[in-house]
Structure 1
Amino acid sequence: MMLYDSHGRRIEYLRLSVTDRCDLRCTYCMPEGFKGYEEPANWLTFDEIERVVGAFARLGVQKIRLTGGEPLLRRNLAELAGRLSSLPGIADLSLSSNGTQLAKHAQALRAAGITRLNVSLDTLDPARFAAITGRDALASVLHGLMAAKEEGFGPIKINMVVMAGINDHEVDDIVAFCGERGFVLRLIETMPIGETGRNAGFVALGPIRERLRSRFGLVDGVVPGGGPAKYLVSPDGRFQIGFITPMSQHFCETCNRVRLSVDGTLYPCLGQNDKVDVRALLRSGCSDEQLEQLLLEGIGRKPFKHEFDEDPAKVVRFMSSTGG
């Protein structure tokens, strides 16, 4: 079965948050002193998550990405990953992480069926890393990346949020870092998700893309994955840089994803406030048919585009509570 929204876009990708907790406090994601976490009793259980993902799979969703917060803070995550990777119809299971816990869990995650990783890395400078994230943990992240590479994850994508006056001067350094180690770099524009996102220091990536294209002789290319990045690759295909431009060149017309937060809230669009309470239906003793109907209704609410430009203050929730 193939699943389409009301605008004719095929929906095949679910970004599934398993926790809103994180052991970092990135300035563009979570406000300083934030303590408004969801109560664990409101988190979807593993059984509930498996049931929802199974329903999505029956409706045609093939790709699942585990996110947070920091998903590796959810106890026994590898067990959940194994359950999800075994579901009929799930063809791709991946994970987004900040990398601090990755060395500890890489082997179990790989054995459980996770094949691809996205790891946040906004700077290679330890002091700047601490300033951005609130924690001196760069060494742990780098150690986690090496452990993941040894376990055979591929591709490993490095996500760098480019911020004016903070790390925009480090782009070339991270390009070199990724090229030397065989990682795929993805540069990301900040989005006005909550006050933290609006104050993050927006940088349009177009000029950076054209400078890197010229400097390294890159050409347009494709890298496996379900996300919105547009890639430049070296002529031999060994080096890739992706650009995620939700603001300067939005990709809403090809959006293929929805998000499910840890408390069971389905968000059809990151840049809108429409939502569907999946947890309430699950805990009311619904049938599989009722669950699938609710998911279809939620996808039916998916708007054609975000309104970040027209109404940048519209979305007041934070990225960490929405799901990465």
Structure 2
Amino acid sequence: MIDPFGRRISYLRVSVTDRCDLRCVYCMAEDMTFLPKAEILTLEELDRLCGAFIGLGVDRIRLTGGEPLVRKNVLSLVRSLGARIGAGGLHELTLTTNGTQLVRMAGDLHAAGVRRINVSLDTLDPATFAAVTRWGKIEPTLDGIFAAKAAGLAVKINAVAMKGVNEDEFDRMVAWCGEHGFDLCLIETMPLGEITGDRNDQYLPLSTVRSKLRERWTLQETDYTTGGPARYFTVAETGGRIGFITPLTHNFCESCNRVRVTCTGTLYMCLGQDDSADLRGPLRNQDLDREGLQQAILEAISRKPKGHDFVIDRVRNRPAVSRHMSVTGG
């Protein structure tokens, strides 16, 4: 699949649920209204949809949410997709999670073919963790991270940088990740969905964070990439890697190779744009075969924009895109 700007689309992020067992302040409103079951694709439909994308050249799939591991029987989907890893199929199947379910599921994920996961962890402080997640306890996430490591999964820690919340913790997180062999990726807060509070108060440019980190750590340029938008450095003192995702201070759209499908079958060609395509209709249309579904996908890819329009709106104080991150998938 080639988009209008010559970019090969090879990476699909699939949200398997809009639900989550936490309520992170940058991701969800405190009182969320979740989608009715009838609107959600079945796991079998998600598998068929992923198969159509694989047939069109997608070789990397990431399962997201909400929290993907709270979806009942989600491991059946993971196993089915894991069976597609190999020549002519997937190069990699990965997962983004908050870690709360990993103690019981890490071994099954590895057995199904997953080798690398991202775990959202914005802080190592229990009180700050509870405040950011609104009701979460840090212990299940930490236990899950170490269960994943023990199961043989490579772990990357994702942390959203928030002014006045965790900006004084990044030195500690670099050291902790280096000690335990985890990569660390810092992410600028993105203007997605109505949240409680003012995003202007949350926004922390990662250019500032990187400058401050360099006062203690030697950040060496590297060409390492996972196929996503992060720019990585090696931390000389620990040997670990740190990545920076900067949708606001540096637009990374020129190399975008990904699209996102929600748990309702809506395809978003860009995280920061509202244009979308309904794939649930073609999936559930008994008169439409796989080729017809693939044609619907290709038509949508032909509309993929050059880039997003993320900006922190300081005048009207409203998000660039109205849907929450949990709806689109991280």
**The two structures share one fold, judged by TM-score above 0.5:** yes
CA distance in 2, matches of 1:310, 1:111: 42
- More deviation, 279-288/215-224: 215-224
Distance in 2 between the 1:223 and 1:151 partners? 24
Q: Which residue of 2 aligns with 1:298?
A: 300
1:52 matched residue in structure 2: 49
CA-atom RMSD, angstroms?
1.7
* Residue of structure 2 equivalent to 1:146: 146
How do residues 18-29 of structure 1 correspond to structure 2 at under 5 angstroms?
18-29=16-27
The alpha carbon displacement at 1:298 in A equals 1.2
CA distance in structure 2 between the aligned counterparts of 1:263 and 1:165, rounded to whole angstroms: 36
Instruction: Work out whether 1:204 is the aligned partner of 2:184.
Output: no
1:9 maps to 7
TM-fit CA distance, 1:224: 4.5
- Report the residue type matching 2:22 in the other structure: L
Which residue is equivalent to 1:254? 255
Alignment check: 8 A CA contact 2:217 2:237 kept: no
Uncovered stretches (5+) of structure 1, i.e. residues with no partner: none
Match of residue 64 from structure 1: 61
- CA separation in 1, counterparts of 2:312 and 2:153? 40
Residue 283 in 1 paired to residue 284 in 2?
Answer: yes
Distance verdict in 2 for CA 1:128–1:313, change over 3 Å:
closer
Matches within 5 A, 1:164-183: 164-183=163-182
Deviation at 1:310, TM superposition (A): 8.7
In 1, Cα distance between the equivalents of 2:90 and 2:237?
A: 31
In the alignment, the residues of structure 1 paired with residue 29 and residue 92 of structure 2 have an alpha-carbon distance, to the nearest angstrom, of: 32
Q: After the TM superposition, which residues 66-145 of structure 1 pair with which residues of structure 2 at under 5 Å, given as runs?
A: 66-87=63-84, 88-145=88-145
Pair 1:38 & 2:35 matched: yes
Write the distance in 2 (CA, Å) between the matches of 1:52 and 1:222.
Answer: 32
Q: 1: distance between equivalents of 2:130 and 2:237?
A: 36
- Cα deviation, residue 218, structure 1: 2.0
Per-residue deviation, residues 39-62 of structure 1 (Å, max 9, x unmatched): 122211122111111111111110
Query: Quick one: which amino acid aligns to residue 176 of structure 1?
Result: A
Find the aligned partners of 2:179 and 2:93 in 1 and give their Cα distance. 26
Shift of 1:223: 3.6
**Does the 8 A contact of 1:100 with 1:137 survive in 2?**
no
The percentage of counterpart residues that share the same residue type is 51
Amino acid at match of 1:129: F
For the 8 Å contact 1:127–1:136, the answer to whether it is kept is no
Q: Is the 8 A contact 1:270 1:306 kept in 2?
A: yes
CA distance in 2, matches of 1:203, 1:230: 17
Distance across 1 between alignment mates of 2:37 and 2:63: 17
Task: Name the CA distance, whole Å, in 2 between partners of 1:53 and 1:203.
Answer: 35
After TM superposition, list the pairs within 5 Å mapping 1:230-249 onto structure 2.
230-235=231-236, 238-249=239-250
The count of residues paired between Structure 1 and Structure 2 equals 320
TM-score (norm 1): 0.94
Q: Aligned equivalents of 2:166 and 2:236: distance in 1?
A: 28
Alpha carbons 2:179, 2:238 under 8 Å: kept: no
Select between 212-221 and 277-286 the one with higher mean Cα deviation. Answer: 212-221
Letter in 1 for 2:326: S
Cα distance change, pair 224–81 in 1 and its aligned pair in 2 (3 A): farther
Q: Quote how far apart the aligned CAs of 1:151 are.
A: 0.5
SS at match of 1:178: helix
Check whether the contact 2:119–2:156 (CA below 8 A) recurs between aligned residues. Answer: yes
* Mapped partners of 2:321, 2:127: distance in 1: 31
Give SS of 2:176's match.
Answer: helix
8 Å CA contact retained: 1:126, 1:136: no
2:291 partner letter: E
Distance 1:260 1:179 in 2: 33
Question: CA-to-partner distance for each residue in 1:50-82, whole Å, 9 max, x for gaps?
Answer: 111111111111000000000000112222111
Q: Which amino acid aligns with 2:168?
A: H
Q: Deviations over 1:151-208 (max 9, x none)?
A: 1112x11000010111111111111111110000000000100122962611110122
1:266 has 2:267 as partner? yes
Q: Which segments of 5 or more consecutive residues in structure 2 lack a partner in the other structure? A: none
